[in-house]
Chain A
Amino acid sequence: MAAISRDEVAHLARLSRIEMSDAELDHMASELDVILGAVARVQEVAANDIPPTSHAIALHNVFRADVVKPSLTPEESLSGAPATEGPRFKVPQILGETE
C-alpha cells in the first residue's frame, strides 16, 4: 500500500497551481512514496518517552523588542521580481474567486 496516492499528488499539485502531466504524476507519486517511506522509518524510533517537537533545540519564548529598523528601499524590494509596475509587484491574473 503506497503512503501517498496518485490522486493525492494531483490534489497537491492543484493546490499549488502546478500543472503536471499524467507521466509526471506517476513519476512524482512513486518518488514521494519513497521519501515518505524514509520518514516513516524515523517514526519507528520515536518511543513514548520522547515528546513530539517541531524543533531540534528546546527553545521557547524567543522575542524581539518592538523597535523599527530600516526597511529595504522599494528598488531593492522589487529588484528580484519577474515583473513590476511603478513601485509595485506585478503578478498574472489570479484565478477567479470561485476557485
Chain B
Amino acid sequence: MSMNYDAAVAAYEPTLGLEVHVELNTNSKMFCSCSTEFGAEPNTQTCPVCLGLPGSLPVVNGKAIESTILIGLALNCSIAPFSRFARKNYFYPDMPKNFQTSQFDEPICINGYLDVEIETDEGAKTFRVDIERVHMEEDTGKSLHVGGSTGRIHGAEYSLLDYNRAGIPLVEIVTRIVPGTGKYAPQVARAYVTELRDILRSLGVSDVKMEQGSLRCDANVSIAPISSGKLGTRSETKNVNSLRSVERAVAGEIERQANRLESGERIIQETRHFLEESGQTRPGRSKETAEDYRYFPEPDLVPVTPDADWIEELRKTLPEKPSLRRKRLQEEWNVPAKEMESMVNAELLDVVEETVKLGADATRARSWWLGEVSRLANEKEVAPTSLITAPQVAEVIALIAGGELTDKLARQVVEGVINGEGTPREVIDKRGLKVVSDDSALMVAIEAAIAAQPDTAERIRGGNIPAAGALIGAVMKATGGQADAAKVRELLLKHLGQG
C-alpha cells in the first residue's frame, strides 16, 4: 500500500457508525425458559420454542425488557410507550425458525447519546455519539462448517448446528453516523465501545465479555475527500472482538479505502471481516443488492407498552455513570490519570474502592492491589480478586498503619492469606510475624549494631544523620525484618544523642 494512515486522514474525512450487540445475562432465553449458560454441550439448551417447532408459542422474558429499558435510560434514550417485535425473514440455518425475532420500525428505545472523552493533540476532547436506537432481538445458533480447508463457509461440504445460543436475549445498540472525528475516528470508536461496556457492566445487565462474544461490535466506516461535504460508500466490519481491535479495524479500513480511492477504484458496499493477526479486513458478503428481510409484526407476541411509572422507577435505580465515577474517585483519591487508567484496565477499580471504603488509605489500597496482589495473580494467571478480598487487604493496610506490621511483613501476610492459611490475623499468629516493638528488645539489637560498627556510630554522634541508615539496616536484619524501621531510627538517634 502506498498511502499510510496519516496520509489517508490528511486527504480524507472518515465517518463512523457503530453497531454493538450485547447478550443480556438473564438466566433464561428471550422467548422461552431454556438456560442461557455459556459453554454447555451442544443442543442441551433447546426446546420447541427456540427450535421453531410448529405450534410452539414464544413469551417475552420480562427481565430482558427491564434490562433493555435500563440500557436505553443509561444512554439518554426516550423509551417508546409502544413497541413491537417483528420477524426478520432470511434463509440461513443459524435460526431454525427461518426468521429472527427482532424489532424493526418500532424499537423500544430511541434518540439517545453517549459522550466520550479522548486525548487529542489539543488535550482532552469530548465527542458526542448520537444513539439512533436500542432494540431487542435474539441471538442465533452456532454453525460449524465442515469440509473445505479454512473452516469458512466457502468450500464447506455441510454445516453442523448447535442451537444453545439461539434465542438468548440480544440487544442491539445503533449509533447515528458520527461525523467530525477526523483522524481520531479509531480512538473515538474505541472510547465509545469502552464507555458502553463500562455502562453495561455498571448496570449489571450483561457479562460484556468481548472474547466470549457477549459484546460484539460491527464498525461502519466510510471516507470522503476533506471538505467535500459528501458521504462515501461504507463498509461494515463484523464482529470485532476486543477494544484494541475496534481501534485497529477502523484505522485499517480508513487506510484501505483511501488507497482504493487513490488508485482510482471505488468502494464497494460490503461486509468485511477483521483479521486479528494483520489488523486488516477481508471481504465478506457484498451488500450491493439491497437486503430484503420482509419484516412484518410478529403475530405470536403482543406489543410492549411500558408505563411511565415503571420507567421512572427504573430510572431511579440507575447507577452513577462510570465516567463520572472515575472522575469523582480520581479527585477523592488524588491520583494521576495514568494510574486511574491502570486500575480501570486491570478491572480493579471496584475492589480498590471497596478497600478504601473499609478505611484503607487510597494510595496504599491502590499500590497493594496493582502491585503485590497483581504480581502474585500474574504468576498464578488468575484475577487478583480471586486471590484475596477487599476486607483482607484493608485489614493488612490497617495493621501496617497501626504499626503492627511492616511492609515487608505485610507481604508475607498477604502471601499467607493467598495460600489459604487463614485471615491476616491468623497468618500473623501462625507464622509469628509480629513487629518487634518492645523497646528493650530493640535496644539490645541497637547496642549490638553500634558495637559492630563503632566508626559509623561515631559519625552519627558527630552529626552525620544519613549514616544512621547502615545501623538501622543492621538492626532490621538482626530482628528478621520484624522491627518498625521508624521506631529503630528514633531509638538509635536518641541513644547517640541526636534524637
Q: Which residues of A contact B (CB under 8 A)?
A: 11, 15-17, 54-55, 59-69, 71-74, 77-78, 80, 85-94, 96-99
Report the 7 A-B pairs with minimum CB-CB distance, sorted nearest first.
A63-B62, A66-B63, A69-B33, A54-B297, A88-B160, A89-B161, A87-B42
Question: Is there contact, CB below 8 Å, between A62 and B33?
Answer: no
Give complex CA distance A66, B91 in Å.
30
Pick the interface stretch among B5-13, B70-78, B299-307: B299-307
On whether the beta carbons of B304 and A60 are closer than 8 Å, the reply is yes
Q: How far is the CA of A74 from the CA of B46 in the complex (A)?
A: 8
Q: Is the interface of A mostly helix, strand, loop or mixed?
A: loop
Least CB separation from A97: chain B residue: B285
Are B160 and A72 interface neighbours, CB within 8 A?
no
A54 contact set on B, CB distance < 8 A: 84, 297-299, 303
* Contact between chains at A89 and B44 (CB < 8 Å): no
Chain B interface main SS type: loop
Chain A residues closer than 8 Å to B284, beta-carbon distance: 97
Contact call B158/A92, Cβ cutoff below 8 A = yes
Contact B44 A74 (CB under 8 A): yes
Q: Closest A residue to B289 by CB, please name it.
A: A99
- B residues 374-408 with Cβ under 8 Å of A? none
Given contacts A60-B302, A93-B157, 13 further A-B contacts (CB under 8 A): A11-B292, A60-B303, A61-B303, A64-B28, A64-B33, A64-B59, A66-B27, A66-B28, A68-B34, A71-B46, A74-B42, A87-B162, A94-B156
Identity of the chain A residue whose Cβ is nearest the Cβ of B65 in the assembled complex: A63
**Chain B residues near A (Cβ < 8 Å):** 26-28, 33-35, 41-48, 51, 53, 59-65, 84, 89-93, 96, 144, 146-147, 153-154, 156-163, 284-286, 292, 294, 297-299, 301-306
Residue among B33, B44, B286 making CB contact with A68, cutoff 8 Å: B33
Cβ contact within 8 Å between B62 and A88: no
**B-chain residues with CB within 8 Å of residue A60 when the two chains form the complex:** 302-305
Neighbouring B residues of A64 by C-beta, 8 Å:
28, 33, 59-62
Q: Check if B41 sits within 8 Å of A71, measured CB to CB.
A: no
Q: Nearest A residue to B85 by beta-carbon distance?
A: A54
Whether the pair B302, A61 counts as a contact (CB closer than 8 A) is yes
Q: Which of A62, A67, A89 contacts B160 (CB 8 A)?
A: A89
CA distance A21 to B44 in the complex (A): 41
CB-CB < 8 A to A96: which residues of B? Answer: 153-154
- Candidates B43, B62, B153; contact of A89 at CB < 8 Å: B43
B175–chain A nearest beta-carbon distance, Å: 26
Q: Assess the B48–A94 pair: CB atoms within 8 A.
A: no
- Nearest chain A residue, comparing its CB with the CB of B42: A87
A-chain residues with CB within 8 Å of residue B163 when the two chains form the complex: 77, 89
B249 to chain A, nearest CB (A): 18
